[in-house]
């Protein structure tokens, strides 16, 4: 059954007012057992735009859907040209203060788990471990025919060899690693097949309109069941893949706090929404709790290994 992707959400009626005080975040983390659910907003300070915030990529870009990718060879060519260029740009992104603070909270035993909707690998680059990548990761690709998994760096080498001189200037980069290119810039970009069976390759990420693997959903539900509280960082919760966990926590009476500057689809289920910048907020909370956050380091990101 095909799913219609939810790209935008408009509030139905008034939402609870947000606060501009990070005390609710410090209170949750101070008690420990916090499950973090992060979205694209935590990576904006690393230079990767989010989807729906001010200047978000959906204002200029419609993401590739699973149905379009699997059914249209021209769409796949366009996707791989844009993604190949975007992969190079993605590699220059570095974890920001928000990513580093989340990793520090985990090291100090304050977190029960970390689920991210992001596919950029920046939580791991900041030192977070056991990250559940709800929507997969751009650092690997999978054959839709035989299931073979190939490192993204190896595919990048093959795409570079198949498209010598391909270096258009993109208008921007999107949260899914897709660079903004015109059809003329895409040109006759050559897509390479699976090295095992010659089948179609797809990044190992969940596209819009594609369901999250059931076993991954259940893994996340189990984390919600075991958490003392749920802290949502930088997600509009527009798509059900993340919103369902907020609703699950709320039904169970588990406190939910959201840090997001704009209104979210989960505001009614949350105890409160903190409308403050993520990096600054989490750094100040860490200071209040006596948690030492690593300073920025030139950590190699997986996108550079191609």
47 annotated binding-site participant? yes
18 annotated binding-site participant? no
44 annotated binding-site participant? yes
20 annotated binding-site participant? no
146 annotated binding-site participant? yes
130 annotated binding-site participant? no
Which three-class secondary structure string do you get for 236-305? CCCCHHHHHHHHHHHHCCCCEEEECCCCCCCCCCCCEEECCCHHHHHHHHHHHHCCCCCCCCCCCCHHHC
143 annotated binding-site participant? yes
112 annotated binding-site participant? no
281 annotated binding-site participant? no
48 annotated binding-site participant? yes
197 annotated binding-site participant? yes
174 annotated binding-site participant? no
Which of the following is catalytic: 84, 99, 123, 135?
Answer: 135
Q: CA–CA separation, 96 vs 94, rounded Å?
A: 6
56 annotated binding-site participant? yes
Other CB atoms within 10 Å distance of the CB of residue 13:
5
Closest to 134 measured CA to CA, from 82, 225, 48, 210: 210
Told to judge if 301 belongs to the known catalytic residues of this protein, a careful annotator would answer no
234 annotated binding-site participant? yes
**Long-range contacts of the stretch 283-291 (C-beta < 8 A, 24+):** 283/97, 283/101, 284/22, 285/22, 285/25, 285/26, 285/29, 285/101, 286/101, 286/104, 286/105, 288/26, 289/26, 289/29, 289/30, 289/108, 289/110, 291/101, 291/104, 291/105, 291/108, 291/110
43 annotated binding-site participant? yes
Binding residues: 39-59, 117-120, 143, 146, 194, 197, 234-236, 278
Binding residues for Zn(2+): 143, 146, 194, 197
Q: Which residues belong to the active site? A: 135
Binding residues for NAD(+): 39-59, 117-120, 234-236, 278
């Amino acid at each position: 059954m095909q799913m219609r992707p939810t790209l935008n959400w408009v509030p139905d009626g008034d939402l609870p007012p947000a606060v501009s005080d990070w005390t609710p975040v410090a209170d949750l983390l101070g008690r420990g057992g916090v499950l973090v659910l992060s979205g694209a907003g935590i990576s904006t300070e690393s230079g990767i735009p989010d989807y729906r915030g001010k200047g978000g990529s959906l204002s200029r870009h419609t993401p590739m859907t699973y149905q379009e990718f699997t059914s249209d060879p021209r769409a796949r060519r366009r996707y791989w040209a844009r993604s190949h260029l975007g992969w190079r740009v993605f590699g220059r992104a570095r974890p920001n203060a928000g990513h580093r603070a989340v990793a520090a909270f985990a090291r100090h035993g304050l977190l029960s788990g970390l689920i991210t909707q992001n596919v950029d690998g920046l939580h791991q680059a900041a030192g977070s471990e056991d990250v559940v990548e709800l929507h997969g990761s751009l650092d690997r690709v999978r054959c839709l025919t035989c299931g073979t998994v190939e490192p993204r760096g190896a595919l990048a080498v093959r795409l570079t060899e198949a498209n010598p001189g391909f270096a258009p200037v993109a208008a921007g980069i999107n949260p899914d690693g897709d660079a903004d290119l015109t059809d003329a810039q895409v040109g006759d970009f050559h897509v390479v097949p699976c090295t095992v069976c010659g089948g179609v390759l797809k990044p190992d990420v969940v596209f819009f309109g594609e369901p999250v693997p059931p076993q991954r959903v259940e893994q996340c539900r189990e984390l919600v069941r075991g958490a003392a509280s749920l802290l949502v960082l930088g997600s509009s919760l527009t798509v059900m893949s993340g919103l369902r966990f907020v609703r699950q926590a709320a039904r169970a009476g588990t406190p939910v706090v959201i840090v997001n500057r704009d209104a979210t689809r989960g505001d009614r289920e949350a105890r409160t929404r903190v409308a403050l910048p993520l990096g600054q907020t989490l750094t100040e909370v860490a200071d209040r709790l006596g948690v030492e956050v690593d300073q920025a380091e030139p950590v190699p990101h997986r996108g550079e290994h191609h």
